[in-house]
Structure 1
Amino acid sequence: MIIQTEFVDIDTPTGVMRTYIYRPKAPGKYPAIIYYSEIFQQTDPIARSAAIMAGHGFVVLVPEVFHELNPLGTVLAYDDAGKDKGNADKFEKPLESHDSDTQAMLDFVDQQTYCTGKVGSMGVCIGGHLAYRAAVNPNILAASCLYATDIHSSTLPSQANNDSLTRTKDIKGELLMVWGKQDPHVPNEGRFLVHQNLIDSEVHFSWLEFNAAHAFMRDEGLDRYDPALALQVYQMSVELFNRTLKA
């Protein structure tokens, strides 16, 4: 499908959040996917990834995940300075603020004539965690969580008993969990912990582990990018959202 792009500035309890929208150009109503980025916010690889998903008949919203901590429109570079700033932001923003961001986007989607009202979430790296976290909201019907960091460690700031591991029991939608076995950010023990917690919480989920590094979906920086695996993961994500959001 041919797509169009725009951005909107959405009010949240913690400030204005710039959100980039990718959607089919053809008239009609489409389900929505909230696409959570890496710590670097909307880089070129994230924009291309969102466009791929939108081209399969979805309205894709890419929020600036650390909008409270940066000027609107901030994109961090894939270098040491960008990594340091993004990681600092990650550990400064509490999960409760991400929750209210998600609700603000759900409220926005509800008001758009081009949306059906059905919403899923997707994300990479910290965005994979935020897609998982978004699924705690009962209005998120499915989530594609790609090499999600910090779920296993419960190191992101939150109130007592409100970390994402503890809140897993509240997830009602279907999850797709995708991991790289050579990812140093989520060791074997961390993946095993998340897997067992999903089973104990009786969540409906699929689980895939590939021989791949962290950020193997990112089509910039060829030391990690695996195009064949990326294509496979896009296909699985599209299948998930077609089945859960378009039925």
Structure 2
Amino acid sequence: MQVKRQNISILVDDNAMRIYLVSPDKVGQYPGILFYSDIYQLGSPITRLADHLAGYGFVVAAPEIYHRQLPIGTVIEPTDIGKIQGNEAARKTATSEFDTDASAVINLLSKYEGVASQSIGAMGFCIGGHLACRAALNPLVKASVCVYPTGIHSGKLGKEKADTLTRLSEIQGELFLIFGTLDPHVPEDGRITIKQALEKSKIRHKISEYEANHTFMRDDGYRFDPVATDQAMQEIISFFQSTLVNN
């Protein structure tokens, strides 16, 4: 179905946080998805993925994750300098601030006209995959998709070491993690650490692995894999439909 797009803002800790909000054009009640970018914020590769998901019947809210550090509307270029800029903004953001932002967007979605308030999910890429996992700590989140999530196994996220791995058992919803087996940022030993922690936590989860590199779903980079991207998107849509629509 067709989608409608808008930019809104909410105040979080007295900072305006821009949210790219995209929803089905047809009036109705749809699941809401907190949608996290990678370290480069809301460039066109990310907003295209948000649009794609919304077209399958979801209200997608994508916040600027560095709204405390960078001017509203900042899109970081995926270059060596951009990588430094994105990682520096992450380093200056406390884990508690990321958590506060998640709660703010989840609260927005739960009250937003057109969102089925009991059907809230989260999704993200790279650092956003880690943030989507942390968003799942919120009991309102029924399902989370973590795409090549960085830092879960090591605790790397913001200013301080994140406790995500040790808190997995608090998650009440279901997790879906997608990894690239060629990803140097989440190597095999890191994936094993995450898998073991998930098994120990006894939460509902599934894992898919693709023979692909980090950021394989960004269509503007040399690591883009169209086939893996299409397959992953179909898995993601099916997962959200089973957990948020048909559950």
Rounded to whole Å, the distance in 2 between the matches of 1:186 and 1:156 is 13
Q: Which residue of 1 aligns with 2:56?
A: 56
1: CA distance, partners of 2:157 / 2:55: 33
* Counterpart code for 1:105: V
Q: Percent identity between the aligned chains?
A: 40
Please give the alpha-carbon distance, in whole angstroms, between the structure 2 residues aligned to 1:167 and 1:122: 18
Task: Give the structure 1 partner of residue 147 of structure 2.
Answer: 146
Provide the rounded CA distance (Å) in 2 between the counterparts of 1:79 and 1:125. Answer: 16
For residues 188-203 of structure 1, the aligned pairs below 5 Å read 188-203=188-203
Give the drift of 1:100.
Answer: 0.8
Partner of 1:28: 28
Q: Secondary structure at the match of 1:178?
A: strand
Quick one: structure 1 residues 138 and 21, their matched pair in 2 at CA, closer, same or farther if it must change by over 3 Å? same
Aligned amino acid, residue 235 of structure 1: Q
> Which residue in 1 is equivalent to 2:101?
101
Q: Say which SS state the counterpart of residue 116 (structure 1) adopts.
A: strand
Structure 1 residue aligned with 2:172: 172
- In 2, are the aligned partners of 1:95 and 1:163 still within 8 Å (CA)? no
**Root mean square deviation, CA, Å:** 1.3
Q: Give the match's secondary structure for 1:208.
A: strand
Question: Structure 1, residues 19-49: CA drift from partner, whole Å, max 9, x if none?
Answer: 0001011111111111100111001100100
Q: CA deviation at 1:157?
A: 3.8
Could you tell me how far 1:13 is from its partner in structure 2?
Answer: 2.3
Ranges of 4+ aligned residues in structure 1 off by more than 2 Å: 155-160
The unaligned stretches of length 5 or more in structure 1 are none
2:241 paired residue number: 242
Q: Deviations over 1:60-96 (max 9, x none)?
A: 0110011100011110001111110001111221221
Tell me the residue number matched to 1:224: 223
Question: 1:121 matched to which residue of 2?
Answer: 122
User: TM-score, normalized by length of structure 1?
Assistant: 0.96
- Correspondences of 1:194-213 after superposition (within 5 Å): 194-213=194-213
Change (3 A) 1:224 1:130: same
Deviation at 1:159, TM superposition (A): 6.7
Shift of 1:11: 1.3
Unaligned runs of 5+ in 2: none
How many corresponding residue pairs?
245
C-alpha separation in 2, matches of 1:62 and 1:213: 24
Q: Is the 8 A contact 2:136 2:144 kept in 1?
A: yes
Q: Deviation string for 1:141-192 (max 9, x for gaps)?
A: 00111100011111224678x6111111111111111101111111111111
CA–CA separation in structure 1 for the residues paired with 2:89 and 2:159: 14
What one-letter code is carried by the residue in structure 2 that aligns with 1:119? I
| TM-score, normalised with respect to structure 2 | 0.96
